[in-house]
Structure formats: C-alpha cells, structure tokens
Amino acid sequence: MSAQAQMRALLDQLMGTARDGDETRQRVKFTDDRVCKSHLLDCCPHDILAGTRMDLGECTKIHDLALRADYEIASKERDLFFELDAMDHLESFIAECDRRTELAKKRLAETQEEISAEVSAKAEKVHELNEDIGKLLAKAEQLGAEGNVDESQKILMEVEKVRAKKKEAEEEYRNSMPASSFQQQKLRVCEVCSAYLGLHDNDRRLADHFGGKLHLGFIQIREKLDQLRKTVAEKQEKRNQDRLRRREEREREERMGRRSGSRNRDRRRSRSRDRRRRRSRSASRERRKSRSRSRERHRRHRSRSRSHSRGHRRGSRDRSSKHKSSRDRSSREKSRDRERKEKSSSERRHESTNGKSRSKRSEEREAGEI
C-alpha cells in the first residue's frame, strides 16, 4: 500500500465517509446487511488472522474503515446493538476452531503410545511450564520492543525461575517412564489456536509460538468474544428492565385509566342522577305550576262566568228597565201626542168657532153699516 493510500485510509478511519463530500461512498451505509458487523467492532477474524498460517482470506462482507468511523460516531448517539451479530459470528468461528482442536487431540491419542495417568499428569505439568515460559518470553520481547527495558528484565528473571521448575518437572517425567519412550517426541495441541506443541521444544520455539501473530490473534478473538458476551448480556438485561418498566408503566396507566374511567362513570352516573332529579323536580314544578295555572284559570273562568252572569243579570235588568222606561216614555209620548192632537184639534175647533163667530160679526157689522 502506497503512502497516499495509507493516508486516505487513515482519514477514512478518523472522519468517515463524508470527509470530503464524496456522495458515491455514501451509497452503502454502515447499517446495510452487506457490511460486516464484526469489522465495525474491530474483531473480524479475517482481519485479525490475515498473514498467518490460518489466513481466512477476504471476508464475504464489506470492510471499510470509513464505515467503521460512521458507526463509532452514530453509536455515541444511540444504541445500535451490533454486538449481537458480531458475537454470533465469533461464536461460530471459535466453535469451529474448538472442533478442530478436539479432532487433533483424537489423532494424537491414536498415534502415540498410551501412558499411565501418573505419567500423563507429569507430562501435562511439563507442557504447562513450557507454555508459561513461552508467554513470558513473548511478553518480554514485546516490552523490549516498546522500550520498557526494566520490565522486560524482570520478566526474563521470572523466565529463569520457570525454567528451573521445568527442569525439575522433566526429571520427574523422565524417571517415571522408560528411556525409549521418553526419547519419543510427545506432542500437545494448543487449546487457544489448535497448533501442535512439542514436549521437548526449546525456549525459542515456544516464544515464537506464544508471541506469534496466530496465537495472539486467537487470544484477541477469544477475549473479544468474552467481552461481547458480557456486553450483550448487560444490554439484554437493560432492555428487559426497560421493557418491564414500560410494561409496569403501561399497566399503571391502564389501572389509572380504569380508575379514572370508573370515576368518570360514577361522575356520569351521579350527573345523570342529578339530571334526572333536576328533571323530575322541574317536571314536578311544572306540574305544580300547570296545576296552579289550571286552578287559576279555573278560578278566573269561574269568576268571569260569575261576573258574566252578574253582568248578564244586570244587563237584563238594565235592558228590562230600559225597555220599561222606553215603554213608559213611549206611552208618555203617545199620551202627550194625543194631548197635543186633542189640544190642536180643540184649538182648531175653537179657532174654527171663533172664525165663524168673527165672520158672523163681520157680516153683521157689514150689514149694519149697510
């Protein structure tokens, strides 16, 4: 990889896909199923074991450092729970490795001579001391490469102590079995990386194995798997607690709703009772008012009928009195008319008699004059 490509990869890892406004790189999101979730969590076996004896080649899913940066930025804001997918991936890989380890142990048991349990225990002790020496040497080399010389020297002193213990264990193992059998190369399968380890391997061979990339890679994968299991268990417990709390809150709200509903029903019932009572009271008032109004109307009708009857009697009396007075008046007028007529007739007779007498006088007068 050129220096420019390395710089580009470093920028992608630090700033993500949107570091330079390249929209073509944002077509695939880190949430896509085609993206390796183990790569986003920096625990994909294809990356860790690359360049070792058990190189797995390229992963079938997308590996991109920029997508890992996008995931790290997004995981600070919300929980994406990608640990479950990564845990399933690593569990399947470790299960396959453990299966190969068991097969290797069976093949060794078939090819090597059977030894007693006592001799096997002594050989197992020698193997354990070899592993301790190899791990300490690998750690001392790492510290020396980092420049921590004092710590590296302390570990080398511990290596010497373990070598002394190993020599004692080898003596016990050599004395417990025949010399012909002891000369045979006794192999053992590494429980971490399933590689073969010899009982008589020198310190350099042990240091190369336990400090090698393959063994350290398997240690990293197994430690990451344990960490993921712990993280997933904690998150699942938190989710269960949140789900339980939401359920309790929902049940509490439902109980409160039922209580409020019963209270509302009681209130509605009391209101309906009050309305019915008010309606019955108003209806009774209306009935009483209508009865009082009907009574009043009856009284008024009776009083009107009485007054009408009284007025009718008064009117009849008035009419009868008026009729009588009119009859008296008419009789009086008739009598007056008769009197006038009689008077006028008497006056006419008188006048006629007076005229006749006057005419006789005038004639006598005239005759006397003549």
> What is the DSSP secondary-structure string of 180-238?
HHHHSPPEEE-TTT--EEETT--HHHHHHHHTSHHHHHHHHHHHHHHHHHHHHHHHHHH
CB within 8 Å of 119: residues ≥ 6 apart: 173, 176, 177
Report pLDDT digits (tens) over 204-245: 787 788 888 888 889 889 999 999 999 999 988 888 898 899
Question: In this structure, how many other beta carbons lie within 10 angstroms of the beta carbon of residue 16?
Answer: 22
Task: Please report, as a single letter, which amino acid is at residue 74.
Answer: A
CA distance 148 to 138: 14
Tell me the C-alpha to C-alpha distance, in Å, between residue 239 and each of 73, 81, 224: 22, 11, 22
CA distance 67 to 15: 10
CA distance 44 to 67: 14
In eight-state DSSP terms, residue 62 is: B
Burial 297-313, CB ≥16 within 10 A → b, else e: eeeeeeeeeeeeeeeee
Burial 106-124, CB ≥16 within 10 A → b, else e: eeeeeeeeebeeebeebbe
| Rg (alpha carbons) of the chain, rounded to whole number | 68
Percent pLDDT > 70 in the chain is 72
Residue 76, classed as helix, strand or coil, is coil
**Residue 298, CB half-sphere, CA atoms under 13 Å: how many?**
6
Parse the chain into domains and list their residue ranges: 1-80, 106-256
CA distance 170 to 129: 10
Task: Pick 229 or 5 by higher pLDDT.
Answer: 229
Q: Which token pair is 211?
A: 């400090």
Question: In this structure, how many other beta carbons lie within 10 angstroms of the beta carbon of residue 338?
Answer: 10
pLDDT over 90 at 144, yes or no = no
Task: Please report, as a single letter, which amino acid is at residue 99.
Answer: R
CA distance 341 to 101: 173
Q: What is the pLDDT of residue 87?
A: 92
Report pLDDT digits (tens) over 52-106: 888 888 889 998 888 888 888 888 888 888 998 999 999 999 999 999 889 988 8
Is the CB of residue 112 less than 8 Å from the CB of residue 187? Answer: yes
> What is the DSSP secondary-structure string of 21-42?
--GGGGGS-TTSTTB-HHHHTT
Average pLDDT of span 144-164: 84
In eight-state DSSP terms, residue 78 is: S
CA distance 277 to 366: 123
Confidence of residue 369 (pLDDT cuts 50, 70, 90): very low
Task: Pick 83 or 332 by higher pLDDT.
Answer: 83
pLDDT over 80 at 282, yes or no = no
CA distance 48 to 62: 15
pLDDT over 60 at 359, yes or no = no
